[in-house]
Amino acid sequence: MKFFIDTANLDEIKTAINFGFLDGVTTNPSLMAKEGISDQETRIKEICRLTDGPVSAEVLAVDTLGMLAEGRRLASLAPNIAVKLPLTMEGLEATKTLSGDGVKVNLTLVFSPLQALLAAKAGAAYVSPFVGRLDDIGQDGFRLVEEIIGVYNNYAFDTEIIVASVRHPQHVLRAALSGADISTIPFKVIKQLAYHPLTDKGLKEFLADHEKAAKK
């Protein structure tokens, strides 16, 4: 499974790259706003200078022509851009055109397997089911991921599934167990992945035992 980081924060991206297992980055307008950024393009270019992996950059337009214009502009910023479009009828129409022109599209805000089927048929490179937001309303977000995998396994689609809206390490584990292609993970959760209290306890004991032996 590939690991993307879900952030617009450059320090978080640099740190995750140094961890050694980062495959790409996803952003969205809310993550940009959290960083106080209104000029998305400058930040996207900065992110693309840090990584060769796919970087998802989301359009703000909601109409097809606006998405096409904005998507083409974003795609021209760097060779590793994936244009992120909302899974609406307009987003699907824009996906068909952009994908046909060789632009990678990530269809976002996906909450049903039928939306994911449409994304694949439109030629999207990525589809992003939001597991955390479904859990938030009392549903099982991973049922959606499993259903999308089930549908995609029946056909020969190339669309990769990005498990998005990840809230905690269990989501990452379930993404890996389900066989999803990618998990896009907030920095806070990336740090939690390596932590186990027994690892820390065991390390402390190893070092204390060594100290005792060295003093003998």
Active site positions, annotated: 84
Please answer whether residues 41 and 59 qualify as being in contact, where contact means their C-beta atoms are separated by less than 8 angstroms.
no
Please answer whether residues 190 and 15 qualify as being in contact, where contact means their C-beta atoms are separated by less than 8 angstroms.
no
Measured distance CA(122)–CA(208) in Å, rounded: 60
Size of residue set near ligand E4P by CB under 6 A = 11
Among 3, 9, 24, 28, binds ligand E4P (CB under 6 A): 28
Q: Decide whether 86 or 132 has the Cβ nearer to ligand E4P.
A: 132
Residue 61, φ and ψ in degrees, nearest 5: -65, 150
Q: What residue ranges in the chain does DSSP mark as E strands?
A: 2-6, 24-26, 55-58, 81-86, 104-110, 126-129, 160-163, 182-185
Q: Decide whether 64 or 106 has the Cβ nearer to ligand E4P.
A: 106
Closest approach, Cβ 216 to ligand E4P, in A, equals: 53
Q: Taking CB under 6 A as the rule, does residue 183 contact ligand E4P? A: no
Q: Taking CB under 6 A as the rule, does residue 9 contact ligand E4P? A: no
Among 29, 66, 132, 169, binds ligand E4P (CB under 6 A): 132
Q: Which residues bind ligand E4P (CB under 6 A)?
A: 6, 26, 28, 108, 128, 130, 132-133, 164-165, 184
